Structure 1
Amino acid sequence: MDGKKLLMIVGDFGEDYEIMVPFQALQAVGHEVDAVCPEKEEGDTVKTAVHDFRGDQTYMESRGHNFALTASFDDIDPTEYDGLVLPGGRAPEYLRTHDEVLEAVRHFTDEDKPIAAICHAAQILAAADVIEGRTCAAYSALEADVEGAGGEYYDGVTTDGNLVSGRDWGDHVEWLSQFLDVLGTNVEHSEPVTADD
């Protein structure tokens, strides 16, 4: 398998599972992932948040991890990447206010490169004006945002061309599976090595 070079745009209080799980899983199957945040440098950290449902009308938020960035946003060039990952959480609220984030998203859209967006990442897609005429999943409370941006909301995991989207971290297995398909990743399984071998 030829590993791809992927860009992940994160920020403070992005959803912990939606950052950590794809970051690690995509590397585990041979891809290189650069995690960046506007106004932060390689080695800086973002604070994550864990979103969970415990019987209330919406999710509750708990402090997650300090997640270390692997590259500096100002040093990256989107043209050098094969795909884009946009986690959810609260970070997309403010990431969408950065022109350089929106320009990066438009690059991946214009060049038909794979994009994986989950949960509140739809806020970034809407701000970049790349949802119109497309089917897009997101956290359920963002249905109006998707439709307001001219898209069709989907309650599940969906692939529309180069865009793979999901509702929340509960969709990880299907969301990552569909993203790997769009990337052209063929995961080969080998027999585990045991102590007797």
Structure 2
Amino acid sequence: MAKNVLIVTGDAVDCLEIYYPYYRCLEENISVTIASPTKKKLQTVCHDFLPEMETFTEMFGYKIDSHASVDEINPADFDSLILPGGRAPEYIRMNSKVQEIAAHFLTENKPMGVICHGQLVLTTVREHIVGREMTAYTACRPEVEAAGATYVETGLHVDGNLVTGHAWPDLPGFMREFFNLLASKNGSTI
């Protein structure tokens, strides 16, 4: 069965958190569509941790094309959804179509991979995450808990159709668990 993955993001997406899942899906011969509020060349950012700083740094990363605007997306056409982190979730979560897309995947129990700050998108559809367990970047814990979800203090967590990761260092396990969810949902192997 053909698999179609949707990645929803915007400018200031963490470069590793979009490029790693995007290329891993392509390596597995999975069709991937990147959607953003506006179809455009997105500016990624590179977040890193330096010993002299108590928070992460941010520098410009490579650019990447979005293939569609979120308004062009019918979530029913996709098997799964990835929401990468960075600062993009802070602003895309206010887009009603992004909220509709996230709600669709939660309601339909389709595989979802959400990493770092991507969980901020889920907090806008809180009725669908109340009682769910997830991890996220530590600074997102208050929003996750305020939305009624249980924050799990691990780098990686799977709760039903939802795999969540703490940050880009967790990407290998995150993608492995995402592919496991996608394979089990479709009754196939990847």
The TM-score with structure 2 as length reference comes to 0.93
What is the rounded CA distance, in whole Å, between the counterparts of 2:9 and 2:94 in structure 1? Answer: 13
Paired position in structure 2 for 1:133: 131
Aligned length: 183
Alignment partner for residue 109 of structure 1, among 96, 106, 110? 106
Paired position in structure 2 for 1:54: 50
Hey, which bits of structure 1, 4+ residues long, moved more than 6 A? none
What secondary structure is seen at the aligned counterpart in 2 of 1:88? coil
What is the rounded CA distance, in whole Å, between the counterparts of 1:68 and 1:156 in structure 2? Answer: 29
User: Unpaired segments of 5 or more residues in structure 1?
Assistant: 188-197
Identical pairs, percent: 36
Instruction: Judge conservation of contact 2:5–2:33 (CA < 8 Å) in 1.
Output: yes
Paired position in structure 1 for 2:78: 81
Aligned partner letter, 1:105: A
1:134-173 alignment runs, 5 A limit: 134-154=132-152, 155-173=154-172
What is the rounded CA distance, in whole Å, between the counterparts of 2:73 and 2:129 in structure 1? Answer: 24
In our comparison, the structure showing a higher alpha carbon Rg is 1
> What is the CA RMSD across the aligned residues, in angstroms?
1.1
Paired position in structure 2 for 1:14: 13
Paired position in structure 2 for 1:23: 22
What is the rounded CA distance, in whole Å, between the counterparts of 1:99 and 1:76 in structure 2? Answer: 13
CA deviation after TM superposition for structure 1 residue 20, in Å: 0.6
The TM-score with structure 1 as length reference comes to 0.90
User: Unpaired segments of 5 or more residues in structure 2?
Assistant: none
CA deviation after TM superposition for structure 1 residue 75, in Å: 1.9
CA deviation after TM superposition for structure 1 residue 72, in Å: 3.3
Aligned partner letter, 1:70: H
What is the rounded CA distance, in whole Å, between the counterparts of 2:66 and 2:144 in structure 1? Answer: 29
Give CA deviations for 1:12-56 in whole Å, capped at 9, x if unaligned.
Answer: 001000011101101111210100101x22xx2110000000111
CA deviation after TM superposition for structure 1 residue 131, in Å: 2.2
